[in-house]
Amino acid sequence: MSLLVRPPRGPAKAGVRPSSPRRASMALVTKVAPRTSDGLPAPRSATDLHGINFSWLVRLRWGATLGQVLTIAAVGRAMGVDLPLAPLSVIVALEVATNVACVVWSRTGRPVGDVLVASVLGLDVVLLTGLLYFTGGPFNPFSSFTSSRSRSPR
């Protein structure tokens, strides 16, 4: 965002001569938005909760992606379990691509709404379901984390 700012009016200081009359009348000032430590834009106000939530969601997604890659590598190599690496790699690549898109969205300064946050969370559920499907389906011990939450009480 750029702002045009007029310098204060008054007599010019002795010995100081502007390089051009146009520059003497206006100066171009660039306003830089403050950023958090990870490069994302800082919230504009305390009421920008969606932006705060979205920045935390992006951080959590990076951590989850790293954890998934390490788990796939550990199970495949250290434990000797034969995993379908092609579909798992595609799912992890989709996670990385959508997380990069989320970072780009955040850096543009566009508002973050309920629909965007819900869409990202919905995509995370679908991707996690895909990971569970390709790593044992209902026999995967982690599948109970998702299925127990979706069952209705009896």
* Domain extent listing, the chain: 49-150
Q: Is 1 exposed, middle or buried (0-12, 13-18, 19+ CB in 10 A)?
A: exposed
What pLDDT, on a 0 to 100 scale, did the predictor assign at position 106? Answer: 85
Distance of CA 113 to the CA centre of its chain: 14
Distance CA 55, CA 147 (A): 28
Query: Would you say the pTM of this structure is higher than 0.75?
Result: no
Angle made by CA atoms 103, 59, 138, in degrees to the nearest 5: 110
- Taking only the tens of pLDDT, the chain with its 154 residues reads 445 555 555 555 555 555 555 554 444 445 555 666 666 666 555 346 667 778 889 999 999 999 999 999 998 888 888 889 999 999 999 999 999 999 998 888 788 888 888 899 999 999 998 998 998 888 877 777 665 555 555 5
Helical H runs in the chain?
21-25, 49-73, 85-108, 114-134, 143-150
